[in-house]
Structure formats: C-alpha cells, structure tokens
Structure 1
Amino acid sequence: MVSVEYLQTKYPGAQAWAFGDSPELANELAELVSKGLKTASCGSLVSYLSENNPPSVGSFHIILDGQQKPVCVIRLISLQLMKFSEVTEDFARKEGEGDLSLAYWQNAHRAFFSREGTFAEDMELVGEEFRLVSLCTPENTL
C-alpha cells in the first residue's frame, strides 16, 4: 500500500480526505471513484468556506477509504456554485451513486446535508468535477 506521505511528495500540496460522513460511505464512494464511476461531488458552501485550504481547480486530492488508507488520487477540473434545487440530472449522474438518477441524488444528499445540519432546498453547493489520476494499489507502481 502506498502511503499518504509518499503521495504528498509525488503530488505536492495534495490533501488527503475521505468522502461522506461514515467509514461505510467513505468506502463506497472511494470505490466508485476508483472504478471511474464517480467523477463529481459537492459540498455545502458553508463547509467549503470553513476549510483552511479549500479545493481549487487543478489541485490534487488523495482519496482515503473508511480506514484512512489511500485509494486513489484525483485532480479537480472544475468548480461551480449551484443551489441544491438547481442540481441537474447530468451532475447527479456524474456523482455516480445509486441508480444515477436525480431523484436518488436528491434523497441521498438531502439526508447527508440534514445530518450535517446545513440542508435547505435553496442551500448553495460547491460542485466539483474531477478526473482519476492514479490508483493506490500494490499492483500500481505510480
């Protein structure tokens, strides 16, 4: 297994983090990214603004699983500001979750943002699109 420290040397400035709010969700979403099925994500603008070093276009990110082990490296290719109620079917599909429908996306994210304490139909989101750069598997020499 490749270490976070090694990856941060290879990709200077890369932040290491996991998707979701539980180890199970982190595992599920990291797997979708590693398979190329998840190429987008979003977070509340409130959370984004509270980060010390918010993501920017071109930045590299080390995606961790639920056990905080590196799964892959992604590179952010776009950022967009949108309201929850304005998320499109296309963006929901790029998130790669469930049946890829907007209805699934809305239900899953309504629950997630409610747990976070930020949900509102008109809440602002930061939508991120990314591409998979590298997998962090023993077979992959990076």
Structure 2
Amino acid sequence: MPEYEDLQETYPGAGTFKFGHDAESCTAQINLVRRGTKRAICAALADFEGAPEAMPVVGRTDIVAHWNNTPALIVKTVKVQEVRYCDVNTNMAASDLGRDEFTAWRKATKAAIKLDHKFDPEMLLVFEFFQLIEDLDGRQIEPRS
C-alpha cells in the first residue's frame, strides 16, 4: 500500500483554490503555471467581500487544485495589488494570461467578470502574483474527506 502525504502537514495553513470557470480552463492554466508563463491570477475585488479570509496575502502558500479537487500545484503569494480593470498594464496581463496578448487578456477577463458581476471598466481587481513552489504531479497525496 502506498504512503500518502497530507499536504496540510507539509504546508500548514495552506488554502486551496482552482483556476477558471470550468475543467478545460483550469487544466490549461495549471499547465501555463507549470511552464512558468502564468505567474498571476486576478479576480474582482467584489469576490472577496463576503469572504475576506480568501483575500490573498503576501507570503501565504496555497494549493492549486484540478477541477476535480485533486491537488496540482503549490504556490506562494509574492505580491498583491489592487488595480482598476482600465489601469491593468501589459506586464500584469501577460502574468495572468500566460502570454503577451493584452487584447486577449482584456476580452477573457471581461467575459469572466461578467459571469459573476456587472462589468465596469473602473472596477477594482485584485492581482495576486505567485511563485511556483512545487508541482505535485506524480505525488501520493492523501485524499481529503
């Protein structure tokens, strides 16, 4: 019988989150992090109003999960920045999208925001810049109950 690792013992206090709004986008974004091109995630500030404990914090380590909730990556937050959608620069967009296509970032982010909020170009976004700590591919992880 294989030995399983409990990630909460290895990374105490780590939260868990998923990228995207579906399995396909989640997998694509995990792969971009693995390649080193995706180094940030952004969300509407309004997403955190009902859950302030979910707000990213510099120095915090988190578990990035696959869409089916199995652990994929460990990341550490290195910078958090609040910025209006209209003020996002090309470097920020490339860090989130995983490639240097500013117009594509604007289109994709606007569409994602509209799934949960009324879009306003002056709305505040939270940009969380992170560092990949560990790729969990192939690890024996203890199933969460």
What TM-score does the superposition give when structure 1 sets the normalisation length?
Answer: 0.88
SS of corresponding position for 1:72: strand
Q: Distance in 1 between matches of 2:115 and 2:40?
A: 21
**Aligned residue number for residue 49 of structure 1:** 49
Hey, what does 2:135 align to over in structure 1?
135
Give CA deviations for 1:69-106 in whole Å, capped at 9, x if unaligned: 11110000000110000000011111134x52111100
Larger Rg: 2
In structure 2, do the counterparts of structure 1 residues 77 and 118 end up closer, same or farther at CA, with 3 Å as the change threshold?
farther
- 8 Å Cα contact 1:82-1:126 kept in structure 2: yes
Secondary structure of the corresponding residue to residue 50 of structure 1: coil
Q: What is the alpha-carbon distance in structure 1 between the residues aligned to residue 29 and residue 117 of structure 2?
A: 21
Q: 2 CA distance for matches of 1:139 and 1:7?
A: 11
* Alpha carbons 2:97, 2:105 under 8 Å: kept: no
Alignment of 1:80-95 (within 5 A): 80-95=81-96
| 8 Å CA contact 2:19, 2:29 repeated in 1 | yes
Provide structure 2 residue ranges, at least 5 long, that are not aligned to the other structure: 141-145
TM-score normalised per structure 2: 0.86
Q: Is the 8 A contact 1:78 1:128 kept in 2?
A: yes
C-alpha RMSD of the superposition: 2.3
Misfit runs of 4+, over 4 Å:
none
Q: What letter is aligned with 1:127? A: F
Give yes or no for contact 1:85–1:122 (8 Å, CA) kept in 2: yes
Name 1:18's counterpart in structure 2.
18
- Cα deviation per residue 1:22-61 (whole Å; 9 max; x = unaligned)? 1211111111112211001111111123225222100011
Q: Does 1:117 align with 2:125?
A: no
Which amino acid in structure 1 is aligned with residue 62 of structure 2?
H
Q: Does 2:60 correspond to 1:59? A: yes
What residue in structure 1 maps to residue 143 of structure 2?
none
Could you tell me which runs of 5 or more consecutive residues in structure 1 were left unpaired when the two chains were aligned. Answer: none
Please say which of residues 87-96 and 43-52 is displaced more in the overlay: 43-52
Over 3 Å counting, the alpha-carbon distance change for 1:68 and 1:88 in structure 2 is same
Q: Identity over aligned residues, as a percent?
A: 26
